[in-house]
Each structure stands twice: as C-alpha cells, then as structure tokens.
Amino acid sequence: GDSVTQMEGPVTLSEEAFLTINCTYTATGYPSLFWYVQYPGEGLQLLLKATKADDKGSNKGFEATYRKETTSFHLEKGSVQVSDSAVYFCALSDAAETSGSRLTFGEGTQLTVNP
Amino acid sequence: NAGVTQTPKFQVLKTGQSMTLQCAQDMNHNSMYWYRQDPGMGLRLIYYSASEGTTDKGEVPNGYNVSRLNKREFSLRLESAAPSQTSVYFCASSHVWLEQYFGPGTRLTVT
C-alpha cells in the first residue's frame, strides 16, 4: 500500500536558519502530495501541495517540489522564524470517486525555532 | 463560514462507557473523514465517507462506528471505550479531488 516516510525529528533551529524536512513516498499510482502544519493545540492546516511531477508548491516562504524520479517531496524554507515552530506532516492522496481524497500521512516532524 | 467543527473539545471516559463525537462542515464537501492522532504515529484514518450515504473502513476501524447523518454531518461512535482509544480525534472534509480541511480536534482520555 501507499506510505510516507519523513525524516526523524525533532528539529531545532535558530531564527533565520535554512530548513529542510525530508519526505519520501511509496505509491502505486500518481498521487497528489501535501504538506500540512499543526500549531500547538490546533488542527492541521494545508501548507502547500503539488498534484503532478515537477510541480512546485509554495506558501508563506515554504517550498516543495514533486520529484517522481526520487519519489520525494522535501520541504524547504530559506529563513525560519520563531512563529514557524510547529509539527509538519507530509501526506499523499490517492483520490478516486469511490474513496474521496484519502490521505496517507508521515509521522510528523516537530520543528522548534529559537530566537 | 465556520469550516469544520467538532464537539466536544475534551472528554474523559471510564473503560466500557460509550460516546459519540460530532463533526459538521459547512463547505458543501462530499467527502468526510475521521482520523486519530497518537504520538510518533502521525494521523491514521479510522473511517471515511466518500459521499453522502456511503461509509468505509480506514486503517484502524476496530472499536468504532460511524454515521453519515447528511451531507454536513459525520459522527464517530465508541460503543465500549478502552484505554487504547485514548487519543486526539480529528474530523476532516474535502471535495473528491481536492485537499482536506480539518477540524480543531477532540482530546479523549479513557481511564
């Protein structure tokens, strides 16, 4: 079945540092890929998405590129802020009429940014 | 436009008690989902409803039942709660081909 693997966390950075969170996936078809973010005590929010190979999703300074050849969707940000401290989830969707857009999640990566 | 709402926010149950978690969405989405979140395990799909009138098991359905009451509402029932069901439960909704929107979660403790 489909699966998503994220780099082990937690990750601790200083403000303005460069961020990379690795994500690789296994899927039989051509899934859509997502990054969700969860701030403390809240539900998940969509951060960015890519629906086909070589697509780049971007939002709030974060970027990720759908790499079919390496089955990866790594999250990057050039300069993190304290407000970026959260848990980040990589996910894939095998959308179909009969199943909705079911998501398979990675384990999540806790990011802490210190001032 | 409230998005996805869940009630209650917190609940404590004793082993063997039953309860229903409520979820509603006002975005006219066809599909709705229930997940549980446990430390180090990401989110795991319990049940989903691709469209009104249909429900299907996800990855971890044992011990749960669901009802898609109408297009807006999707409830999750624990008939006989167990300590292993202590978790944070999230409801989500989506159009078939698009991203999911999540509720704020219900934190459940079973003692």
Q: Which amino acid is at B1?
A: N
Chain A residues near any Cβ of chain B (below 8 Å):
4, 34, 36, 42-46, 49, 89, 93, 95-103, 105-108
Please report the pLDDT score of residue A61 as a whole number: 97
CA gap B82, A36 in Å, rounded: 29
Structure confidence by residue, pLDDT tens digits, B38-92? 987 789 999 999 888 899 999 999 999 999 999 999 999 999 999 999 999 999 9
| A98 chain-B contacts, CB cut-off 8 A | 50
Give the lowest-confidence range in A99-103, B25-29, B106-110: A99-103
Task: Compare all CA atoms of chain A with the CA of B51 and give the residue at the minimum distance.
Answer: A100
Q: Following DSSP, what letter does each residue of A18-87 receive, concatenated?
A: -EEE-EEEE-SS--EEEEEEE-TTS-EEEEEEE-STT-EEEETTEEEE-BTTTTB--EEESS--GGG-EE
> What is the longest distance spanned by two Cα atoms in chain A?
47
Question: What is the tens place of the pLDDT at every residue in A23-72?
Answer: 999 988 788 899 999 998 889 999 999 988 999 999 999 999 999 999 99
